[in-house]
Amino acid sequence: MTDERIVIGAGTKYSLDGILTIPNHLDHLLPAVVLVHGSGPSDMDEKIGNNYPFKDLAEGLSERGIAVLRYNKRTFVYGKEMAKDSGLSVKEETIEDAVLASALLRSDSRIDPSKIFIIGHSLGGMLAPRIDAEGGDFAGLIIMGGSPRKLEEIMMDQSNDAFNSLNMLLKIIAKKQIAALSSRFANIYNLSDEEAKSTKVVGKYTTAYYFKEMGEHPSIEYLRGLNKPVLILQGDKDFHVSVEKDFKDYQKLLGDMPNVTFKLYSNLNHLFMPYVYGKILKMKKEYNVAQHVDKQVIRDISDWIFSN
């Protein structure tokens, strides 16, 4: 395979460095994928601790004949200046660049324009249907560790999971913090856009508008109206999203749609790597263990792409 340096949004305010990994055997037009990050600032390899899931996906899929485009997330490069924007939403943070990435692949004469797919991980998986609808126009969608629920619901579940693992003294402190966060989330859809932009809900910068704008574009509504192929993947040791509340909800909501395929992997975590501790409070330790995306996951993704 060959790694080619590319730029997403060249000439715009937010140009982003990236890599297009191309298989060496070019005797036919290639299928391709765009990789879309999870939440938070992230580089093109989606580096988390000592793990590089997007690099693993790029190399693994390219070995199997699929071109892969990955790039630095906008908030990874321009986070300080974007933090000042109270109207920041997932559109500016993620969607616009993923659409530009799909257009870049379409302009490449080596790529089959009818075989360009999106792989969204975590938040990127939740946004994949909207990215497709807002200009990505992909041949199919692959959702890894995503959720049909609202982002704030997932965050509250993560907070409660962490709370249940604390000792009694820390629980007293955390209980008030969680109650305050729950109260802020409960009111976001009662706010006007301008009110939401002036209301901080998480940390110093993240406003209610970020959650409100995303929540008003529920991914499940896009998926229900979709007839193109969709592959939904999750590890059963994922402590960021839940098998019961997320994977099984996808099955319940979309299970009667013939275009949707589901795969649940035993003993894999949110990065689709073997789990170590399996607890959200040990997340940092879990991801500090250097591992690789499970080869069966890569095989399943490539097989599915070639079958569609």
CA distance 272 to 53: 8
Q: Which of 132, 238, 246, 294 is catalytic?
A: 238
CB contact at 8 A, 162 and 281: yes
CB 297 within 8 Å of CB 265: yes
> Are the beta carbons of 77 and 16 closer than 8 angstroms?
yes
Structure tokens at 78: 């321009």
List, in sequence order, every beta strand (DSSP E) within 100-229. Answer: 111-121, 140-144, 200-202, 206-207
How crowded is residue 167: how many other Cβ atoms within 10 Å of its Cβ? 7
Number of C-beta neighbours around residue 159 at 10 A:
16
Give me the catalytic one of 240, 270, 294, 302.
Answer: 270
CA 276 to CA 288: how far, in whole Å?
10
Q: Hey, what long-range contacts does 243-250 have (CB within 8 A, 24 or more apart)?
A: 245/147, 245/149, 245/157, 246/146, 246/147, 246/148, 246/149, 246/154, 249/147, 249/148, 249/149, 250/143, 250/146, 250/148
Choosing from 122, 147, 219, 242, the catalytic residue is 122
Report the sign of the C-alpha dihedral through residues 151, 101, 77, 74, in that order.
negative
Active-site residue flag, 122: yes
List active site positions. Answer: 122, 238, 270
